[in-house]
Chain A
């Protein structure tokens, strides 16, 4: 089984190889094309890279569980926007006026609670009606976005709390606050997926649902818990980002689901469920952010970024299939 092992290592290492390639390419290309004289691999630049990966990255951790479990969640961008509005708006509510800066944990808790509830609603519908998660979350993506617009029309919702901004811009041990949240979320979800019964069951359900049911795993509650986790993480992502920026547009978070899914798929998670790793997803998130940053470093505009990311996604899918066919010798149908 030497070849099988080889292709397995190749696949799990591919994303890191890709990141190294990106680093080398942008470093060299940056020498010739960049307008600034700063090197691409500058320490500040790399720290910024981690910080900017946080909003997508935190959600991507939740999406990995959902996809390993065999579902998908398209509503993360809308949940992100709702929670951002709850966070910023609740700080101005009169009933919290006496709290002073004590309003911050209350607002955070409210935003996270709303995220969990919206996720739970998705999960409950998927569980109880048996409608495919793709359709359920496609619907709630529209519905939740509608709620965002109904809240404040097309106006942005803004509130700046300087204590909060200071916290969000702080650096601890050299890393920014959002980076810490990304790392904590990654570690927590890694632990959940690799060291707990819930994580193992998520893989089992995604891999073979019938078998999981026969083995006595209760599929429904697992689905619901996973949707609550991704709701929580979408809210956390919003909390981390908007603590700093202090203003949310009703369109914010649109297309986040696409970025997140791209990162997760680049990280090697199967759409069909049952396979995927948190470390791989972390690599996928970094790879995408590196690509965006690198392309803008060498002077390409957003159009090129979109083009390149789309084509890379397709190329990854193609390579993955080629590697799988060699391993399995599929029935030719």
Chain B
């Protein structure tokens, strides 16, 4: 095994860097605080990461297709508020599908603008972030939404229930991740998403209907957002209008941490899940070690930049950028 060169080690480190960093973090936190690896603690972290995670799954598709989605945070507020409001008006059985279809309509609108009209996704979703926030406030009249009968509704099952000893949010997250992971890596649609993001012009010339693929990515993203809104609403059974504010950037951070390139064409569902878990465990670990809650923001900053830097350094074979 003497033939392993420094470059090979470097490229291995860079390619699997995110997993190595994850392992190092886990070991470090475990040594620093014995409660960190407690099954209850681990369950708790995954459970609280589930909402962010579910949204990150959808955004992964959008990012791989070469676009951005900054509207997921305010869209999540929208679906949470809508489902809570409808719950008392028409009952949970009707409220959930209605909320899903309303959220999907918003996703379809964004998908139409970015996919078919080919508008810049950063600006479109920035506009939608503001517009949907306005829509939510108009819908709720600016008031907090609360379910009146909090004890007597089965609606709480999505956020608070558990099946086979596993909390339902984790189950939803895992099932959705498995489904979308298969969709992305094993189906023609998934390959089209990579093709569109990798080289849009080439994919058009090879007969892929690019607008439709982009459109579908935004629909998937909206579906994930609606699911996240459902979990959020069911967990708290009441909500402010700004519940999802700022989540779009945390979601994006998780997806980038998982190694998806913002230029499109790369990234996987599995790595996004790792990215989500890293964010969740760092937050938890820092708290257990006794640091302030806000330290996690600074640590996340350093990790994001290091992760992306190592990733592109491995691709170009040099640590420092060639920019003169």
CA distance A323 to B296 in the complex (A): 45
B137–A302 CB distance below 8 A:
yes
In the complex with contacts A131-B312, A307-B135, A314-B323 CB distance below 8 A? no
* Residues from chain A with Cβ under 8 Å of B122 in the complex: 271
CA distance A142 to B127 in the complex (A): 21
CA distance A139 to B294 in the complex (A): 14
CA distance A50 to B133 in the complex (A): 26
B residues 35-68 in Cβ contact with A at 8 Å: none
CA distance A314 to B305 in the complex (A): 30
Main secondary structure of the interface of A (DSSP, over half): helix
A135–B130 CB distance below 8 A:
no
Using CB atoms, name the residue of chain A closest to B302: A143
Q: Which size class do A's interface residues fall under?
A: 35 or more
Q: A179: shortest Cβ distance to chain B, in Å?
A: 26
* Residues from chain A with Cβ under 8 Å of B321 in the complex: 127-130
Q: A298: shortest Cβ distance to chain B, in Å?
A: 16
Using CB atoms, name the residue of chain B closest to A305: B134
B320–A129 CB distance below 8 A:
yes
Q: Which of B127, B246, B296, B305 contacts A129 (CB 8 A)?
A: B305
B137–A125 CB distance below 8 A:
no
- Does A213 count as interface, using CB distance less than 8 angstroms? yes
Contact with A along B141-155 (1 / 0, CB 8 A): 010000000000000
Contact with B along A271-305 (1 / 0, CB 8 A): 10000000000000000000000000000011111
Contact with A along B114-130 (1 / 0, CB 8 A): 00011110111011111
In the complex with contacts A306-B134, A310-B132, A143-B298 CB distance below 8 A? yes
CA distance A254 to B126 in the complex (A): 14
- Does B200 count as interface, using CB distance less than 8 angstroms? yes
* Residues from chain A with Cβ under 8 Å of B135 in the complex: 303, 307
- Does A167 count as interface, using CB distance less than 8 angstroms? no
A149–B252 CB distance below 8 A:
no
CA distance A144 to B298 in the complex (A): 7
Q: Which of A139, A254, A305, A307 contacts B253 (CB 8 A)?
A: A139
Using CB atoms, name the residue of chain B closest to A140: B301
Q: B4: shortest Cβ distance to chain A, in Å?
A: 26
B119–A261 CB distance below 8 A:
no
A150–B124 CB distance below 8 A:
no
Main secondary structure of the interface of B (DSSP, over half): helix
A310–B308 CB distance below 8 A:
no
Contact with B along A129-158 (1 / 0, CB 8 A): 111101110111111111101100100000
| B-side interface residues, number (CB < 8 Å) | 55
In the complex with contacts A139-B253, A143-B302, A127-B130 CB distance below 8 A? no
A307–B131 CB distance below 8 A:
yes
CA distance A74 to B256 in the complex (A): 16
A307–B295 CB distance below 8 A:
no
Q: A202: shortest Cβ distance to chain B, in Å?
A: 15
CA distance A311 to B246 in the complex (A): 20
A141–B323 CB distance below 8 A:
no
Q: A46: shortest Cβ distance to chain B, in Å?
A: 25
CA distance A135 to B324 in the complex (A): 20
- Does A265 count as interface, using CB distance less than 8 angstroms? yes
Using CB atoms, name the residue of chain B closest to A261: B126
B130–A134 CB distance below 8 A:
no
CA distance A219 to B320 in the complex (A): 15
Q: A307: shortest Cβ distance to chain B, in Å?
A: 3
- Does B5 count as interface, using CB distance less than 8 angstroms? no
- Does A4 count as interface, using CB distance less than 8 angstroms? no
Q: A217: shortest Cβ distance to chain B, in Å?
A: 8
- Does A318 count as interface, using CB distance less than 8 angstroms? yes
- Does B304 count as interface, using CB distance less than 8 angstroms? yes
B134–A303 CB distance below 8 A:
yes
- Does B157 count as interface, using CB distance less than 8 angstroms? no
B304–A262 CB distance below 8 A:
no
Q: B21: shortest Cβ distance to chain A, in Å?
A: 15
Contact with A along B184-210 (1 / 0, CB 8 A): 000000000000000011001100000
Q: Which of A261, A307, A333 contacts B201 (CB 8 A)?
A: A333
- Does A258 count as interface, using CB distance less than 8 angstroms? yes
B134–A146 CB distance below 8 A:
no
* Residues from chain B with Cβ under 8 Å of A213 in the complex: 324
CA distance A333 to B208 in the complex (A): 11
In the complex with contacts A306-B130, A307-B131, A301-B308 CB distance below 8 A? no
Q: Which of A145, A153, A306, A313 contacts B123 (CB 8 A)?
A: A313
* Residues from chain B with Cβ under 8 Å of A307 in the complex: 130-131, 134-135, 138
Residue among A141, A223, A305, A317 with the highest chain B CB neighbour number at 10 A: A317
Q: B12: shortest Cβ distance to chain A, in Å?
A: 20
CA distance A138 to B320 in the complex (A): 20
A-B contact sample (16 more), CB < 8 A, given A131-B309, A258-B129, A307-B135 = A130-B321, A138-B256, A139-B305, A142-B304, A143-B297, A146-B301, A149-B297, A219-B324, A262-B130, A271-B123, A301-B142, A305-B134, A310-B132, A311-B127, A313-B126, A314-B119
Interchain Cβ contacts under 8 Å between A and B, 30 examples: A128-B320, A130-B312, A130-B316, A135-B262, A135-B304, A138-B253, A138-B256, A139-B253, A139-B300, A143-B300, A143-B302, A146-B294, A146-B300, A147-B298, A219-B323, A254-B246, A258-B129, A262-B127, A265-B123, A303-B134, A306-B133, A307-B130, A307-B131, A308-B134, A310-B127, A313-B126, A314-B119, A314-B123, A314-B127, A333-B204
Task: Report the 7 A-B pairs with minimum CB-CB distance, sorted nearest first.
Answer: A146-B297, A130-B321, A310-B131, A143-B301, A307-B134, A303-B137, A306-B134
